[in-house]
Every structure is written in C-alpha cells, then in structure tokens.
Amino acid sequence: MTRPPGSEPVAIVTGAGSGIGKATTLALLADGWRVVLAGRRAEPLAEVVAQAGASLAQALAVPTDVADEAAVQHLFAQAVERFGRVDLLFNNAGVFPPAALLEDLELTEWQKVLDINLTGMFLCLREAFRVMKAQTPQGGRIINNGSTAAHVPRPNSLAYTATKHAVTGLTRTAALDGRKYGIACGQIDIGNAATELAARFSTGVMQADGTIATEPLMDVSAAARTVLHMANLPLEANVLFSTVMATRMPFVGRG
C-alpha cells in the first residue's frame, strides 16, 4: 500500500528477529508500515532490517528483553522519539520450552516461561495502553500472539499452555478496557507455522494418546498475512480472535 511519506502507520513487533515475528515484520514493511523491531539479540534484528531493504526512516531495531520493565519502557520511548506515535503492537515474543512431565517441572523453568510469555506480554500491553491513550489522535491496535494451545494443550506442556490460556484473559480484558481510548485488542492463535520452533513437528511429536506422529506445517507467511489483515482494519472494527493453522494438523479433535 502506498502512503505519503511520514504518514505511514507505526508498528512495534516483539520477537521480531525470527519466526512469526520476522515474517510479520517483513510483511508490515512491504505494506508501507514503519516498524520498530524488538528482540533480545541485536544481530537477528539487523538481519531482518537488511533483508527488508528498509531505511532508517522505515525501521528501528531496539534490543529488548520483554520481561524487563525498564527495557519495555525504553522500547516504547524509542518508538515515540523516532516516529512520533505507535499505531500497532504485535505482542509476539514468547518461548516454547521442551516437553516436561508435570510432576518433574522445575519452578525455575515454570517461572522463566511465565516471565516471558505472560509478564512480558503484560508489560508490552500496559506500555502500549499508556502511549496510545496519550497520543493524538488517540488509540491504536494491539494483537496478542496466543496459540492453538490457548484452546487445547499438547501433552507435557503445562507452563506453556497455562501462559497461552492466560493470554486470552489479557486479550479479553484489554479489548474491554481499551474501548474508552479507541484501542482495539485482538488475538491470533497460530498452529503449526513452519518456523524454527515448530520444525520438530514435521519429524514427530507426542500426541494425546502417547504415540509419536509427524504433523503438517503451513508456511509462516500465512500467519503474517493474517496479522497484516487484522492490523489494516479501521479501528471501528476488530478481529477479537483469529485461528490460522495448518489445515491437516491434529487440532480439532485433539485429545
């Protein structure tokens, strides 16, 4: 989409250095958005910017640990300083830990997953509210990355599944609380996108009955295009929940 220079909407994408975050960042930049890329490591963020061929007027990479309150505040401050506002937050950063028996799950591993997948998402959500409430014109859009695990679990995935169920609560509450500020909040639940994290599904993962089976994957661009569709809606409309998944993955009927 062609927009006059300086009028392009501004997005923050967390977890932008790989996987779904990278694919979505590339899609937004190709569509004419200005994008602030957040991720724990600077090098992958720089590689995404280079791959997109984006200029300093289009993209800003800000290394960020989303579980760190000060780092999240710095991320949004940098976005506003460079581009003047924030129109979209794709709240995407997360970890997918190895499978673990519930009774063997260490507290430190549980806490790590909660810190990134839930607390990190809350911190970004809260900062987006603060910025979008204060800017003129007021408002914006937040898209939280849930998962098909927000609906049904995989075996031995307690921490991950708990956080993704909790993301649904964040989304519903933010959609309600954002109304008065013109902030639309929705959630995308993605299943079996072909990323580094999901590569093992194609070689065999445990099913609900204890067997090991391969699962089909979809191209990650399908998830990115879905986020882009949600992002480009007028603020008077909101996709509250969207599920995009490999057609033949064993999700419907899982368990």
Asked if 254 and 152 touch (Cβ cutoff 8 Å), the reply is: yes
Asked if 42 and 63 touch (Cβ cutoff 8 Å), the reply is: yes
Catalytic residue, candidates 122, 129, 160, 251:
160
Residue 200, C-beta contacts closer than 8 angstroms, at least 6 positions apart: none
Q: What angle do CA 64, 65, 68 make, to 5 degrees?
A: 115
Residue closest to 125 by CA, chosen among 203, 180, 185, 70: 185
Whole-angstrom Cα distance, residue 42 to residue 162?
A: 29
160 catalytic residue (yes or no): yes
Whole-angstrom Cα distance, residue 229 to residue 240?
A: 13
Residue closest to 242 by CA, chosen among 176, 163, 162, 151: 151
Which positions are annotated as active-site residues? 160
